[in-house]
């Protein structure tokens, strides 16, 4: 053993098979037997093995007592010619430098692990922070959009309400105009025609027999008078401004009965004291005027019923008959001529925010329903 080697090796043992010490730097243990350690067994199977500061076996008691860091190395000794393992040499080498190196390696690896951990923490934190910022930004964007949608919905509701108000005013004005036209027809041309008929009658009163031409003129005058009166009646709506819903319904039915044999049954449900605007009442009146006129014309021999339901927030009026019915989906039946027929009625009802429905089918009668949602009292 060289000098520096001798300085580093503090103890050695040569093992025979069976855990017996053949030779050792400590002569007191020569010939003793110890239970083979794992390292010793590995050396017997041909491996060089070693361990650092693992001196808790009985055979290492003396070395452990030295209290210095030791590297324990087992090395198989082979027979030169056969290569068989004939013994195992065990050395205990001072390992202060190794310990220092290991401590440095440990420090370095902790440093590497720590730096890697810190770097990944920073990266993760940045990712989370960026994600968080994105989420906040999108949240703010969504909030803004939501607010804009709410504002838009409010504006739509305001505009819709203004359109309905304008339609109500327009419908009321149109009715006033029609009423005026009806009165003018009644007070003007009808009076002149009536006067002409009277004069004609008077002109031939002294004659025994009226000439045939005079008779024809008289009949034409009477016919024109009847038509103008009917026209005037149809155009004018009664003064319903101060009537309650129930009275408007009754009035429409009475007006209709004056010139029609149809006698509809009436059912009034709910609180009829609900307050309606003038345009709502006019709409009720015109609805009954048209649907009753249709029932009288197209279902003259069948039962007809008017049902008026007044709820807190809406008024529903049904006019049902058990007549021949028709197919409402047939484009040729409902004529869109801007008149007062069912389509004109639909426009009128919907323009003031109401609902209008027609159920009918050939042979199964007809049911026309109008729903109004009175919003406020209007005197316009
Ligand atoms: N109660 C009903 N029973 C059977 N058919 C009906 C009834 N009401 C309407 N109809 C059918 O629907 C068609 C359209 O009716 P609408 O009231 O729109 O127009 P109109 O009565 O023909 O003409 P206007 O009402 O302008 O005098 C009618 O021509 C008729 O064929
Ligand atoms: Mg009609």
Distance CA 88, CA 86 (A): 7
Which CATH number belongs to the domain containing residue 34 in this structure? Answer: 3.30.450.20
For 227, the 3-state DSSP assignment is: helix
Which CATH number belongs to the domain containing residue 343 in this structure? Answer: 3.30.565.10
pLDDT value of residue 59: 84
* 338 alpha carbon, closest ligand: 1
* Most confident option among 163-172, 179-188, 320-329: 320-329
Same structural domain for residues 275 and 307? Answer: yes
Gap from CA of 295 to ligand 2 centroid (Å): 9
Same structural domain for residues 145 and 231? Answer: no
pLDDT at 37 over 80: yes
**Sorting pLDDT into bands at 50, 70 and 90, what band is 295?**
very high
* 295 alpha carbon, closest ligand: 1
Same structural domain for residues 221 and 88? Answer: no
Task: Confirm whether 182 is domain-assigned.
Answer: no
Q: ∠ CA(24), CA(29), CA(35), 5° rounding?
A: 100
pLDDT value of residue 209: 80
More confident residue, 235 or 244: 244
Same structural domain for residues 202 and 165? Answer: no
Q: ∠ CA(95), CA(7), CA(71), 5° rounding?
A: 25
For 358, the 3-state DSSP assignment is: strand
* 358 alpha carbon, closest ligand: 1
pLDDT at 299 over 60: yes
Domain final residue, candidates 50, 70, 94: 94
Please state the separation of Cα 356 from the chain's center in Å.
28
Gap from CA of 246 to ligand 1 centroid (Å): 26
pLDDT value of residue 274: 82
pLDDT at 301 over 70: yes
Domain final residue, candidates 44, 59, 94: 94
Task: Confirm whether 175 is domain-assigned.
Answer: no
Task: Confirm whether 183 is domain-assigned.
Answer: no
pLDDT at 376 over 80: no
Q: If you take atom 23 of ligand 1, which residue's CA is the nearest one? A: 341
Ligand 1 atom closest to 295 (CA): 1
Cβ neighbours of residue 367 closer than 8 Å, sequence gap 6 or more: 318, 319, 320, 321, 358, 359, 360
Mutation probe of ligand 1 site: the residue of 289, 294, 359, 360 with most atoms within 8 A of C-beta: 294
Gap from CA of 298 to ligand 2 centroid (Å): 9
Task: Confirm whether 107 is domain-assigned.
Answer: yes
pLDDT at 4 over 80: no
Task: Confirm whether 178 is domain-assigned.
Answer: no
Q: ∠ CA(118), CA(124), CA(126), 5° rounding?
A: 100
Q: Give the pLDDT confidence of 82-110 residue by residue, as tens digits.
A: 989 999 999 998 888 888 888 899 999 99
Domain final residue, candidates 94, 124, 158: 94
Distance CA 75, CA 50 (A): 9
Evaluate whether 315 touches 284 at the Cβ level (below 8 Å). Answer: yes
* 321 alpha carbon, closest ligand: 1
- Domain of 330 in residue numbering reads as 239-380
Ligand 1 atom closest to 334 (CA): 14
* Most confident option among 67-76, 267-276, 362-371: 362-371
Same structural domain for residues 269 and 352? Answer: yes
Gap from CA of 290 to ligand 2 centroid (Å): 6
Same structural domain for residues 263 and 363? Answer: yes
- Supply 266's token pair: 């009436």
pLDDT at 189 over 70: yes
Same structural domain for residues 373 and 283? Answer: yes
**Sorting pLDDT into bands at 50, 70 and 90, what band is 380?**
very low
DSSP conformational letter for 329:
T
Which protein residues touch ligand 1 with a CB less than 6 Å away?
A: 294-295, 298-299, 321, 323-326, 333-334, 339-343, 366
Task: Mark residue 130 as left, alpha or beta (left: phi above 0; alpha: psi -120 to 50; beta: remaining).
Answer: alpha
For 164, the 3-state DSSP assignment is: helix
**Sorting pLDDT into bands at 50, 70 and 90, what band is 338?**
low
**Sorting pLDDT into bands at 50, 70 and 90, what band is 377?**
very low
**Sorting pLDDT into bands at 50, 70 and 90, what band is 64?**
confident
Same structural domain for residues 35 and 131? Answer: no
Distance CA 140, CA 155 (A): 22
Task: Confirm whether 363 is domain-assigned.
Answer: yes
Gap from CA of 360 to ligand 1 centroid (Å): 11
Distance CA 39, CA 354 (A): 99
Evaluate whether 317 touches 288 at the Cβ level (below 8 Å). Answer: yes
Same structural domain for residues 248 and 121? Answer: no
Evaluate whether 11 touches 18 at the Cβ level (below 8 Å). Answer: no
Distance CA 38, CA 34 (A): 12
Same structural domain for residues 264 and 127? Answer: no
Name the β-bridge partners of 234: none
Gap from CA of 347 to ligand 1 centroid (Å): 16
Evaluate whether 68 touches 111 at the Cβ level (below 8 Å). Answer: no
Task: Confirm whether 19 is domain-assigned.
Answer: yes
pLDDT value of residue 142: 96
Same structural domain for residues 256 and 278? Answer: yes
Ligand 1 atom closest to 345 (CA): 18
Distance CA 286, CA 339 (A): 12
Evaluate whether 308 touches 245 at the Cβ level (below 8 Å). Answer: yes
Task: Confirm whether 176 is domain-assigned.
Answer: no
Number of domains in the chain: 4
Same structural domain for residues 267 and 326? Answer: yes
Over residues 48-66, the mean pLDDT reads 84
Gap from CA of 345 to ligand 2 centroid (Å): 10
């Amino acid at each position: 053993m060289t000098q520096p080697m001798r300085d580093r090796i503090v103890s050695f043992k040569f093992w025979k098979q069976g855990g017996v010490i053949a030779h050792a730097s400590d002569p007191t243990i020569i010939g003793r037997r110890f239970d083979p350690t794992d390292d010793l067994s590995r050396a017997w199977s041909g491996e060089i093995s070693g361990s650092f500061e693992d001196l808790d076996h009985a055979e290492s008691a003396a070395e452990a007592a030295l209290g210095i860091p030791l590297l324990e190395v087992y090395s198989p000794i082979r027979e030169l010619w056969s290569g068989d393992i004939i013994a195992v040499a065990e050395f205990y080498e001072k390992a202060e430098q190794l310990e220092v190196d290991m401590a440095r390696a440990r420090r370095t690896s902790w440093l590497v692990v720590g730096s890697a951990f810190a770097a990944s923490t920073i990266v993760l934190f940045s990712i989370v922070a960026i994600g968080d910022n994105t989420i906040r930004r999108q949240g703010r964007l969504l909030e803004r959009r939501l607010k804009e949608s709410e504002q838009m919905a409010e504006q739509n509701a305001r505009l819709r309400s203004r359109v309905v108000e304008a339609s109500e005013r327009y419908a009321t004005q149109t009715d006033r105009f029609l009423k005026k036209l009806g009165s003018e027809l009644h007070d003007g041309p009808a009076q002149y025609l009536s006067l002409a008929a009277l004069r004609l009658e008077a002109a031939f009163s002294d004659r025994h027999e009226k000439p045939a031409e005079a008779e024809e003129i008289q009949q034409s005058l009477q016919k024109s008078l009847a038509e103008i009166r009917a026209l005037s009646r149809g155009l004018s709506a009664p003064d319903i401004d101060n009537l309650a819903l129930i009275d408007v319904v009754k009035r429409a039915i009475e007006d209709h009965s004056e010139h029609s044999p149809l006698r509809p049954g009436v059912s009034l449900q709910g609180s009829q004291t609900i307050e309606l605007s003038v345009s709502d009442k006019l709409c009720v009146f015109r609805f009954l005027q048209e649907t009753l006129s249709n029932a009288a014309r197209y279902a003259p021999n069948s039962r007809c019923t008017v049902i008026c339901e007044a709820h807190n927030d809406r008024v529903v009026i049904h006019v049902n008959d058990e007549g021949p019915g028709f197919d409402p989906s047939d484009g040729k039946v409902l004529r869109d001529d801007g008149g007062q027929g069912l389509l004109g009625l639909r426009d009128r009802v919907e323009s003031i925010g109401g609902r209008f429905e027609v159920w009918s089918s050939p042979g199964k009668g007809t049911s026309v329903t109008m729903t109004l949602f009175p919003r406020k009292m209007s005197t316009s």
